[in-house]
Amino acid sequence: MNENLTRPTEVSAADFLAAVQHPVRRADGLALAAMMGRVTGQPAVMWGPTMVGFGTYRYTTGSGRRGEYFVVGFSPRTASLSVYGATSAPESESLLEQLGKHKRGAGCLYVNTLADVDIAILEQLVAYNYRYILGNLAS
Protein backbone atom coordinates (compact mmCIF):
# COMPACT_ATOMS: atom_id res chain seq x y z
CA MET A 1 0.00 0.00 0.00
CA ASN A 2 1.13 3.55 -0.69
CA GLU A 3 2.18 5.55 2.33
CA ASN A 4 1.05 9.14 2.91
CA LEU A 5 4.00 11.36 2.04
CA THR A 6 2.72 14.27 4.12
CA ARG A 7 3.61 13.50 7.71
CA PRO A 8 4.27 15.46 10.88
CA THR A 9 7.81 16.76 11.26
CA GLU A 10 9.93 17.98 14.15
CA VAL A 11 10.18 21.48 12.65
CA SER A 12 8.68 24.21 14.84
CA ALA A 13 5.53 25.72 13.31
CA ALA A 14 6.32 29.02 15.07
CA ASP A 15 9.80 29.09 13.51
CA PHE A 16 8.40 28.22 10.08
CA LEU A 17 5.80 31.01 10.28
CA ALA A 18 8.31 33.55 11.57
CA ALA A 19 10.49 32.82 8.53
CA VAL A 20 7.75 33.44 5.92
CA GLN A 21 9.22 36.22 3.81
CA HIS A 22 6.07 38.02 2.67
CA PRO A 23 5.00 40.24 5.61
CA VAL A 24 1.24 39.94 5.00
CA ARG A 25 1.43 36.18 4.49
CA ARG A 26 3.53 35.90 7.66
CA ALA A 27 1.07 37.98 9.73
CA ASP A 28 -1.91 36.08 8.31
CA GLY A 29 -0.20 32.76 9.05
CA LEU A 30 0.47 33.76 12.64
CA ALA A 31 -3.15 34.91 13.03
CA LEU A 32 -4.49 31.66 11.53
CA ALA A 33 -2.24 29.59 13.79
CA ALA A 34 -3.50 31.44 16.86
CA MET A 35 -7.14 31.09 15.82
CA MET A 36 -6.89 27.40 14.88
CA GLY A 37 -5.02 26.61 18.08
CA ARG A 38 -7.68 28.37 20.13
CA VAL A 39 -10.58 26.69 18.31
CA THR A 40 -9.13 23.18 18.32
CA GLY A 41 -7.26 23.25 21.60
CA GLN A 42 -4.39 21.56 19.74
CA PRO A 43 -0.82 22.74 19.14
CA ALA A 44 0.39 23.73 15.69
CA VAL A 45 2.40 20.92 14.06
CA MET A 46 4.31 21.09 10.80
CA TRP A 47 3.18 18.50 8.25
CA GLY A 48 5.69 18.24 5.46
CA PRO A 49 7.73 21.34 4.70
CA THR A 50 4.90 23.91 4.36
CA MET A 51 1.66 22.86 6.06
CA VAL A 52 0.67 23.76 9.61
CA GLY A 53 -1.87 21.30 11.03
CA PHE A 54 -4.00 21.00 14.16
CA GLY A 55 -5.20 17.71 15.60
CA THR A 56 -4.95 14.34 13.88
CA TYR A 57 -7.30 11.65 12.75
CA ARG A 58 -6.90 8.22 11.26
CA TYR A 59 -8.69 7.28 8.10
CA THR A 60 -9.29 4.25 5.92
CA THR A 61 -10.07 4.69 2.22
CA GLY A 62 -12.52 2.56 0.30
CA SER A 63 -9.59 0.56 -1.05
CA GLY A 64 -8.41 -0.22 2.47
CA ARG A 65 -5.50 2.21 2.56
CA ARG A 66 -4.99 3.61 6.04
CA GLY A 67 -3.33 6.80 7.11
CA GLU A 68 -3.20 9.71 9.48
CA TYR A 69 -3.65 13.38 8.67
CA PHE A 70 -4.22 16.70 10.38
CA VAL A 71 -7.84 17.69 10.98
CA VAL A 72 -7.60 21.37 10.01
CA GLY A 73 -4.65 23.42 8.89
CA PHE A 74 -3.19 25.85 6.42
CA SER A 75 -0.21 26.76 4.33
CA PRO A 76 0.98 30.34 3.69
CA ARG A 77 1.75 29.75 0.03
CA THR A 78 3.20 32.44 -2.24
CA ALA A 79 0.00 33.06 -4.20
CA SER A 80 -2.51 32.68 -1.34
CA LEU A 81 -3.30 31.08 1.97
CA SER A 82 -4.47 27.51 1.53
CA VAL A 83 -6.87 26.50 4.31
CA TYR A 84 -7.44 22.76 4.73
CA GLY A 85 -10.28 20.88 6.40
CA ALA A 86 -12.81 23.72 6.31
CA THR A 87 -15.31 22.44 3.73
CA SER A 88 -16.43 18.96 4.86
CA ALA A 89 -19.22 19.69 7.36
CA PRO A 90 -22.79 20.14 6.11
CA GLU A 91 -22.81 23.64 7.68
CA SER A 92 -19.91 24.68 5.45
CA GLU A 93 -21.90 25.61 2.36
CA SER A 94 -23.99 28.37 3.96
CA LEU A 95 -20.97 29.72 5.82
CA LEU A 96 -18.86 29.76 2.65
CA GLU A 97 -21.49 32.01 1.06
CA GLN A 98 -20.86 34.53 3.87
CA LEU A 99 -17.08 34.15 4.05
CA GLY A 100 -16.01 36.80 1.57
CA LYS A 101 -13.50 36.62 -1.27
CA HIS A 102 -12.14 33.09 -1.65
CA LYS A 103 -11.73 30.26 -4.13
CA ARG A 104 -12.36 26.60 -3.52
CA GLY A 105 -10.16 23.69 -4.44
CA ALA A 106 -10.79 19.96 -4.15
CA GLY A 107 -10.30 19.94 -0.38
CA CYS A 108 -9.29 23.45 0.56
CA LEU A 109 -10.04 27.14 0.45
CA TYR A 110 -7.75 29.68 -1.17
CA VAL A 111 -7.74 33.11 0.45
CA ASN A 112 -5.55 35.96 -0.80
CA THR A 113 -5.39 37.64 2.61
CA LEU A 114 -7.38 37.40 5.83
CA ALA A 115 -8.51 40.98 5.16
CA ASP A 116 -10.60 39.58 2.28
CA VAL A 117 -12.73 37.36 4.51
CA ASP A 118 -14.91 37.57 7.59
CA ILE A 119 -12.66 36.13 10.31
CA ALA A 120 -15.64 35.21 12.53
CA ILE A 121 -17.11 33.12 9.69
CA LEU A 122 -13.73 31.48 9.03
CA GLU A 123 -13.49 30.63 12.73
CA GLN A 124 -16.97 29.04 12.60
CA LEU A 125 -15.92 27.02 9.54
CA VAL A 126 -12.84 25.74 11.34
CA ALA A 127 -14.81 24.88 14.49
CA TYR A 128 -17.67 23.09 12.67
CA ASN A 129 -15.34 21.16 10.42
CA TYR A 130 -12.96 20.19 13.21
CA ARG A 131 -15.83 18.62 15.16
CA TYR A 132 -17.36 17.09 12.02
CA ILE A 133 -14.15 15.43 10.83
CA LEU A 134 -13.37 13.99 14.26
CA GLY A 135 -16.93 12.76 14.71
CA ASN A 136 -17.69 11.49 11.21
CA LEU A 137 -14.66 10.92 9.04
CA ALA A 138 -12.11 9.53 11.47
CA SER A 139 -11.82 5.78 11.71
Name, in order, each residue with C-beta under 8 angstroms of 12's C-beta and a sequence gap of 6 or more.
46
Q: All domains of the chain, ordered by start, with CATH?
A: 13-137 (3.90.1150.200)
User: What pLDDT digit, counting tens, does each position of 102-111 carry?
Assistant: 999 988 999 9
pLDDT over 50 (residue 1): no
Residue pLDDT, tens place only, 3-42: 566 789 999 999 999 999 999 999 999 999 999 999 999 9
Helix (H) / strand (E) containing 56: strand 51-60
CA 93 from centroid of its chain's CA atoms? 17
